[in-house]
A and B are shown apart, each in its own frame.
Chain A
Amino acid sequence: MFRRNGVAGERALANCAKCNLRKSNSLSRPWILLLLTLVLPGCGKGNKAGTNEIAVGVVLPITGREAKPGQFQREGIELAIQQINQNGGILVRDLDKKLPVKEVFYDDGSDQAKSAGLVERAMTSDNVVAVLGGYSTALGEAESVMPDRYQTPWITTGAAASTIFSRGYQYIFGTLSPTDLLGYTTAEFLGSLVDHGQLQKGLKLALALENTDHGVDYGKGIGKWIEEHPGYFAVAFSEKFDLGSTDFSGLLQKVKNARADIFLADAHLQDYITMHRQYMQTGMYHEMISYGARGPESDARKALGDATNYIFAGIWWSVKLPYPQVKKFAADYQASVGRPPDSWYPATAYDAMRALGTAIEQAGSLNKTAIRDHLRTVELKDSLLPGQVLRFGQNGQIHTPFVIVQNEPQDKVDIVYPLDAATGEAIAPKPR
């Protein structure tokens, strides 16, 4: 095709000789194109909601790298919608009736550009009153451009980087507490172990941070605590790595060379699994190990078996929290999808949908700006999240405390911090 030789080439050459009849060529092409450009954009209108329902857009990855967490979050949202609709829907005062919620779902395949485009599509041709979505920071960043453009509220259930919320956008909200608080709480937890005599003072930390805002925030949070509490820990090594690598041996070699006592990484689920497998293969030992917000996921347990024991994680929610609404949620979720909630993923999504439903009800209409105004003041007093109260902060992000969980042998998980919510004692240092 590039050289006019060989069998295929000869055919092409013969064709092209005839190609020089410009009439037959330029006649057909522009009209075909015109037809396509007129017909195809019109096809994008499949999901328009009728006036007898409230359309809510949901844009999450259920394929691609972030497929598993995205799927869990979708399940959380759908459970909430199902429960709302079982009650007849949301009462819209202005229309004097209860309307059911209709989910308009798009899979963004863990792709940032696609994600932004799908949110835009939902907000325009599907005419949703709000969009839930944005699992993981990069997708959240890309999507966060759209809400203010189309004046449609957007709640991220999976992006925690504070940078998203520092840009002055007026239509964005998030049910994930900021990542720097995660780092801070992690260091605080380790500090409490020192205070209880389980760890010595002055231990060295090795940090491996994912090369995103999430990782940067995590590192900052840890650094802040260390600065406020001199003498407890020292950072011996800190480096960033790219998400999605297959081989972390270079990074782990450097961690080995640093000869630290505690290994703290901040990674996504796949990278956690890959990195920890290679960590085990280096034969290293650290007194405490954490992968940020990852630890108890069942995929990791399956892939690594006993190697995941004693890993601790700082997460936004745990099924072990001693609140009655958590027990009920766990039971409802199990009944609806046939397995227990995996780590924290479904909970933040579930509560986001509930907060949205409440805000719509309080607004009394389907006006998007009114809904936004009421999201700013909404308060969910039976929230699943730690602290039991969901309230969006000034910049749209909530600020609930984190819980630290630790993996125990035989697939058990315990909350080990804060102590008033603990279901078991922390095991530190890790047994060899």
Chain B
Amino acid sequence: MNQAIHMHEGYLEYISEERIAGWAARIGDLNPVEVQILVNDKVLGQVSANIMRQDLRDSGKGNGVHAFNFYFPKPIKDFFRPERIQVRIRGTGHVLAKTAELIDVLEAVDSAVPETAAQSTSAKGAAESAAGDIAFGILSAATTATPTPGQGAFLGIQNRKLFGWAVLEAERTEIFVTVDGKVLGEANAAGSQTLKDVGPTMALHGFEIPVPKTLATGVERKIAIYDAANGTRIRSNPEKLLFPKTDDRPATATATAPARALDPLAEIARARQAPIPQARDTASNIKPAPAPAIAPHRANRLAVVAWDMAHNPVGRAFLLADLATENQAVELIGPTFAFYGGRIWPPIANTTIAMQSFPATDMQSLVAGAVELASKVKCDAVIVGKPRLSSLLIGALIRHFNDCPMIVDIDDHELSFVQNRTPASFEELVKGIEADPAKSNVPYNDLWTRFCETLVSEADSIIVSNVALRHKFGGMIVRHARDERSFNPSLYDRTKTRTEFGYTDTDRVVLFLGTPRAHKGIFQLADALEKLNDPRLALCVIGTVTDKRILARFAAYKKARIKLHPDQPWERLPELVNMADQVAILQDPSHPIAEFQIPAKLTDSLALDVPVLATVVPPLRDLAFADVFEPIDSPADVEPALARLAESAPRGTAIGRGREAFLTEFSYGVNRARLDLALAQAKQSRKPDLPKFESLFRLLEQQTDIQLPRLTNAPPRLDRRAPMLATDKPRDLIFLWKQNDSDIYGRRSDMIAKYLLKTGRVRRVIHLDAPLSAADLERQAAQSDGDSAHQGNLVYVNTVRRILKTADTPSFLRRTYLYRSGARPERALGRDLPTRDGYPDFIRKVMKELDTREAPLLWVCPVVFDYQAVADIVRPVAIVADIIDDQRTFPGDSESHRQRVAGSYATILQEADAVFCNCNPVRDAFADLRPDISVVPNGAELLPDFPGAGKPPELANFPRPIIGYVGNLRDRVDYDLVEAVARKYPDGTVVLIGSAHGQPEVPKLAARCPNIKLLGVRPYEEAQRIMRGFDVAMMPHLKTEQSDRMNPLKLYVYFSVGVPIVTTEVANIGDLAPYVNVAQDSASFLAAIADVLAGTGKQVTEEARQTILGALSWESRVAEIWQHLVKAI
């Protein structure tokens, strides 16, 4: 035990009612330790001592990542009693000592406590004590004496409002408050409404100013009050204030307890009845005895994520981390994939930058490691190095856990490295995973990388390494920089290095650094040298050649002076470059990598003032323009360029063009400034929501069973929406239908939209069908070609009308988003089609077109996968979900699709203000997701009579009796029963109206029974007209799990038309069962038809029918829905 104690160190530096802070470490170990917080010897909680503190680092405490901060679940009384609270390093018995300063403070608090009302026990007393707590200390001047002009104070921040008071000269009251010198806001210090009961000072001189979310970062800031009339600064305490993070404390504190959000030190000071000292971040200010050099300094913290720490892509991330270390406390993090070696890439393994990594092999280990690592990282900003799955996943998690901006760094076009260079949409990704789950378990496979490119647009800011990438992705350029202090030609002895490698002053050395390969233009150089045959020119290749064919090719040169050297230590890089007279960077311009990549050796050469010969590829275009290097436009340019080199004077010591360009463009100084700027910009341009990342997280959850946080940042429902009143003026209704068959069958969704509009409570209906790809639209038309029983043609026609806006009426707008089928540009209906990802833009456009001032209602018939994106853009006053059926039970869907469907139901039902469905089984099926679903069954239309309605021409030539069925001919239809009906009435006709797509047995059935007539898909009104000519309308449905969760609408339609009805006994027909013929089996079904035809079946009088219809009509259903809705919102 003693041994364990000696191996650890740390101090408890701060205690308040609300939190405890300090640092703890294992001596000589960079890994963070866990500490346990004990209250009255019982473990209250545990926290990792893994917060980076520059002061600890500066004083030699490992890498500085050893601080901890623990918020008590509820305020701790008597926290000042030393024996009350202890902190122990987990598993060691090492209890942290308190600093001398902390002991002083606690003792002072202890002695002052009896004078506070903190020990009041009754509920009333507690409330009074809270109020008194505010007045105590800070308001002491106001309560014990009259505050004098020029005095003021800050009470603290509560519910994102800063409270304080100020008394100005000449009874003025207008003030402004600055935070870190910048104006937070103006206010009238004439009494705070919220805190008027706290005391007379707050009632007379109080003010409150909203605090923007951007300041709620948990950072201590300088704060001051000024007289707005003349800028005189008001003497106020404290001069610094901790601006708590939005989520640091619950926003449930009452107005009588705003001091809870004050800096805890101010609370102690109030309790001490002493003048308020400058509030400080005590965790870094109170110095533990063994580390006296700790300075009260808190640097910004930055996390840089590499997608793999085990191989060279980490190089760029390391560079950014290194760049940032001067102004930030930086941590380099990422997985080490076993595939790439499983250990930190050797060139960076021994650097001083703090690093955290975890081993990963597959998706499971990546996601698990990412969640664990990200939850530990504390930072003010995160940079994602390269848009790959692992880095983006970790970056987005860190962004979420720290509420900080995420910057994506792009230094290559990642798709240059994969076979298919087009980005993959989310749908393509899902399909790919379903097609090959094993392959998609590899986080760095091509499909993931292709998808990740689409996530770049959700970064808060983008940085790129060259102009070609900026042209593609936008963002700020942060070059492949080098530290001007070490990459300085004056530091190296050029002659000595040249001598070492066998070159004299008269030689002109062309350096090739790196693994020689044909596509790098190495043989262009060799060929040119061979032709020139100039002994002064020498090609120096530094890089081990492992390919024997390359070696053989080099050996074939007889005149060219070529020397091959093995790999050299990384540290020698500047020295080696410095010996050269020219560095050649020849690339194949047609190679996809060359299209977007700048080789780092360009920077190295410029830094050391070595002239560069380079192929002009897009990433170098701006540099060619600035004459930074000698451009090679074609292989023929190489020879003359080398000939000029042979004749050139030796390199002088004066600063040349290369070094100048380096200092102004590629140096650490310049690029650090750019990086800082990008970080600052990112903080100002936070994206409110990350819908694509949200989809990704849900997908990864399904794949790995590891829970990932929700990233939607939508404000809570009550904040977003005002209550809706029965007396509200009409609003627009955005209606999301899950399919593309609206206005064809007179479905429930069509009816609800139609009758809601009729109520006059809805101003306009904007009806949105599911997004559709051009290929799918064409497929609809193609499939229905020559097949009248296929709905495709009607879908096609309707969709085209919706796209061309010819289906609109002034109050009913119909839209469908048509997108391109793949990544390639595509035109349809005379317009360029956007990609699937452009749907949110389409919704924005629709909203703009609507020009609506009132927040609309959002009506959604799940499952609608785009619901979230639409809701976030529409910002509805209320969300209503109407469940038509249960898609989770649909046969034939893959498991991943089923999970996606279930996820979508969960989201919609949780967010909706009111949820409806058409029958009890559906309500029961979703009760676990939403217990308060209201059942409103389907309805019937009150149809006007019109002449000739009973003699539709379509039926004129069919022998009677005509027994008909209208509805989709799906697997819920009992085709055996249909056939039995047809066979029983061989001289009559069985008419089937509806889509038979995907049901090959339907045409076969019609072929077997010539008296079965397929009339194909008919639009709703047409179908209504035809069914009036039926002698019997039948519903031969099977009883299945699916039909158990349906309220068959066709029954209502039959009833509204007024034809006799025979149906099988399926679920959810209770409304109409008393008025129709319900058959328990096939025999009774046939018997019921016979009864109806004989005039003995169940049939209601026209008068009774009208009465029943009144009760079951869509008008009454929609009125019922509206009542529920107003009650719910």
Tell me whether A and B are bound partners: no
